[in-house]
Each structure stands twice: as structure tokens, then as C-alpha cells.
A and B are shown apart, each in its own frame.
Chain A
């Protein structure tokens, strides 16, 4: 058995997942502070400098809260749903490369947890299973608001998975591979080599971003938890850490969605310009570039949430099936044509 390989994999898993969880706690603070700025309020500014310790206070509060399971709930599913939400959200992130490679104990280690041939499909599979968490939470609560929230989420995620998959398919068509590390490697050099400028420029990325907002149940697509209509949707009955688990899963999903977009269209960890550096400093710079791009898209998520109103349910379905789907099909066909003609593609 390759114990060193297993140990390296474990270290990567622990480091990346801890970083994600750290990112989640920072994001809760960013979300509340930025929303406050947008709405001309102060936001949480009491715990620590600029309120930066607020997430820790929140965490302690969540742990102290009573864990309520409704008497009529389906207990096994009710308990499993939040865990499933976090597990699928984290495992989807594992195919995202966050740097090139480093030398550890004389062997080359790629900075990605899972470097597999069908890596992008792995991300899809994990996200697809994440739907169950929401649906089960809604059903197991035995509460009409939860049930409607769960049903909405399943309908919404299935509808928007199609444009999402088709927009990704257009990139895969250009790149000729499903392996995220190879797709990133193809986008080396100046930023105009990034996939966003290839094929039909910008369109695929915009489609992906819109569908990604719907997949992560964020405003303007947060119908599954529309508080004006459904109290809190699928997590109405949840309290304490189980509620926090759904919260964490949502933020991890946001990061996975943006990270996938960055990997496929915006060069992943590529800097976008050549630098006269090699070895560890270059790798650190690459990881920082990845984190920086990620941070920008997290901010965009928050910005859009507190700027746009929510869609009505029929508008949501219309946009998905009559708007995004035909456009993404056209995008795929156009990109296929460009690849066939050998024009403006990655290879």
C-alpha cells in the first residue's frame, strides 16, 4: 500500500475542507456586512474588530441551541438530510484544482484532491445527489412549507441543471477533455487564452453563472426558501447545528459553483500574465490568484442577493426552459461548429 500517497491525500482533504469551512464563516460575516452597507445600516460590528469575530459567536450560539426534531417528522431522514447536504457540497469541490504542483518528499503532488478523468462529471454527480438533501429535509419535516420548499428545489435544480450542463459541455467540446487540471493547463499564458474568450466569447460563462445561481438556491432564485411565502422553506423546522449545516452547505455550494466557473472559463489558478518566478513562490501566487478570483465571485453572489428582487415561480420556470435552455443549446451548437471548423478554440 502506498501509505505516503494516502497521507498526502488526507492532508489535502483536511486542508481544503478546513479552508472551505473557514471561507464559509468569513462569508457569513461578509454577507451581513455587505448587505448592511447596501442597505445603509451598520451590520454586525460589535464582536471583535469590525465584527470579524461574529462568526465564532454565531457558531457557539448554534451549538448551544436546542436540537428540535418535530414529533411527526420522519426521524432518520430528518437527521440525515443536513449531513448529506454538507457531504455532497464538500465532495463536489474535491475536483477543483487550486494550484499547479509542488514537490513533497521527492514526489510531485498536484494541488487538487481528486484528479480523475471525468472530474467535471464527478462535480455534477455530487451536486445531483445534493438535491436529495433538500428534498428529504422538506419531506421529513412533515410541514407543508417545508414540503413545498423541497418540491420547489427539486423542480428548480432539475430545470437549471440542463443549461448548466450544456454550457459546461460547450467548454468540454473546445477543450477536448473532462479533466479539470488539463482544462486549466490549456489556459496558460496571457489572460486572453482563457476559455471565456474562446468559441462564442462570454456567452457560455454567463449562462453558467445564471444557472449556477439557480442551482445554489440564491436570490434571485431562492424560491425553495422564499421567506415571504414559505417561512424558511425546506429548513423551516431545523434548529441549532442542523440548521447551520444547511447554511454551510449553501455557502460551500456557492464556492464550488464559482470555482467550477473559474476553472472552466477564467483560467483556474492561472495568473493571466507571465511572471519571472518558479517553484514555491509561483505556486503560492497561483493559489492566491485562485483565492482572489473565488473571493470576487463570492462578493458578486452577495452583491446580487441584496440588489435584485426574487423571481415569481412561473417566471423562474419560464427563464429556465424558454430562455436559458434554447440559448445554451444554440451556444453548444455554435461552439461545435467552431470546433469543427477549427476556429478560435483551445486546442
Chain B
């Protein structure tokens, strides 16, 4: 059952990711990304982390992607007429990045032992356990991220308040 779900989700994730980078229409790409985010939330749920999975849907698919979609529609971006020509920088870096990525994935596959899904411990991945972990073990990183978000928020307000000439 888990394996079937894993297979279906993997196909959905990869297919939607390809749509995101290959489709010429920005709105279709954005929807592909939203689909991708929801499918990844499925992975989280499969691994027993239902709280993180639900937050993934609410925050990324439900809020951030809707805002991105909103901007794309507001700017009324049309389908790209021509593909962007790749620059020299990209020509050199892209193969290197691909090689590095293949290496990492290959090593992970090589060392991973084929196993079934580990049964999640009781109470694993619930709001309770995630909250406790955030406010005890990971307190300082959590607060640092809060600060970062605050800075970003103040920056956004400042930018929107700037008078245009």
C-alpha cells in the first residue's frame, strides 16, 4: 500500500516538476509548482510527518503559490515567444551542477539499504511533538528564523513605502 502510494507520488512529483521548468506558459508552470508542493506534502504524510505535510499545503501551496499566481496574472505575462538563450555562465555551471547532483543521488542510492517503511513511533509527527521540538531542542534556530522573517517583513514594508520619482 505504502509502495503504491510512494510510486504514484513520485511520478506526480517528477511530472509536475518537469511541467514547471518546461512549460512556456507561466500560469501553467505556477500550477505545476503548486501541484508539486502538494505531492511533496504527500511524501511527508507517508513518512508519518502529518503536521509538516499539512503545513506544507497550507503555507506553500495555499498562501505563497497563490500570491505568486496572483502576481503572474496581474502582470498578465503571456506565453514566451522564444526560449531564453543560455549564457556562458550557465553553459559552464549547468553540467557541473548536474554532475554533482547525480553524484549525491548516486551515492545515496548506493549506500541506502532496501527496506520497508520504518513504523513511526507513537506521537511522531504530531503538532504536539513538532511544537515541543521547536521550542526546546531547536529553540535558537527557530528564533533566528523568526528574526529573519521580521527583517524581511520590515524590508517589504519599507520598499512599498518608497516614493517613486
How does the 8 Å CB contact mask read for A66-80 relative to B, with 1 for contact and 0 for none? 000000001001000
Q: Complex: how many Å from CA A128 to CA B64?
A: 11
* Interface: B140 (CB within 8 A): no
Contact in complex: B51, A132 (CB < 8 Å)? no
**Bound complex: CA A161 to CA B62 (Å):** 10
Contacts A77-B31, A135-B69; A129 near B126 (Cβ below 8 A): no
A244 to chain B, nearest CB (A): 24
Residue count of chain A within 8 Å CB distance of chain B: 28
Q: A1 vs B31: C-alpha distance in the bound complex, in angstroms?
A: 35
B133, CB-defined interface residue at 8 Å: no
A125 closest partner in B (C-beta): B57
Flag whether B101 is at the interface (Cβ < 8 A): no
> With A128-B58, A131-B66, A178-B127 in contact, is A117–B31 under 8 Å at CB?
no
Most buried by A among B1, B38, B58: B58
Binding site for B on A (CB under 8 A): 1, 74, 77, 116-118, 121-122, 124-125, 127-129, 131-132, 135-136, 138-139, 147, 150-151, 154-155, 157-158, 161, 178
Nearest-CB residue, chain A, relative to B76: A147
Q: Given contacts A117-B126, A139-B27, are A132 and B66 in contact (CB under 8 A)?
A: yes
- Judged by a CB distance under 8 angstroms, whether B12 is at the interface is no
CB of B10 closer than 8 Å to a CB of A:
no
Establish whether residues A117 and B62, one from each chain, have CB atoms under 8 Å apart when the complex forms: no
Give the residues in chain B near A118, CB-CB below 8 Å. Answer: 50-51, 54, 126-127
Number of A-B contacts (CB under 8 A): 75
0/1 per residue, B60-76, Cβ < 8 Å to A?
A: 01110011011001100
Q: In the complex the two chains form, what is the Cα distance from A132 to B30 in whole Å?
A: 11
**Chain A binding surface SS class:** helix
> Are A132 and B74 closer than 8 Å at their CB atoms?
no
Q: Which residues of B contact A128 (CB under 8 A)?
A: 57-58, 61-63, 66
CB-contact partner of A147 in B38, B55, B73, under 8 A: B73
Cβ distance A205 to chain B, nearest Cβ, rounded Å: 22
A121 & B66 in contact (Cβ 8 Å cutoff): no
In the bound complex, how far is the Cα of B26 from the Cα of A74, in angstroms? 13
B58 close to A121 (CB less than 8 A):
yes
Known A129-B38, A147-B73: A124·B62 in contact at CB below 8 Å: yes
For B70, the chain A residues whose CB sits under 8 A away are: 135, 151, 154-155, 158
Q: Which residues of B contact A125 (CB under 8 A)?
A: 41, 54, 57-58, 61-62
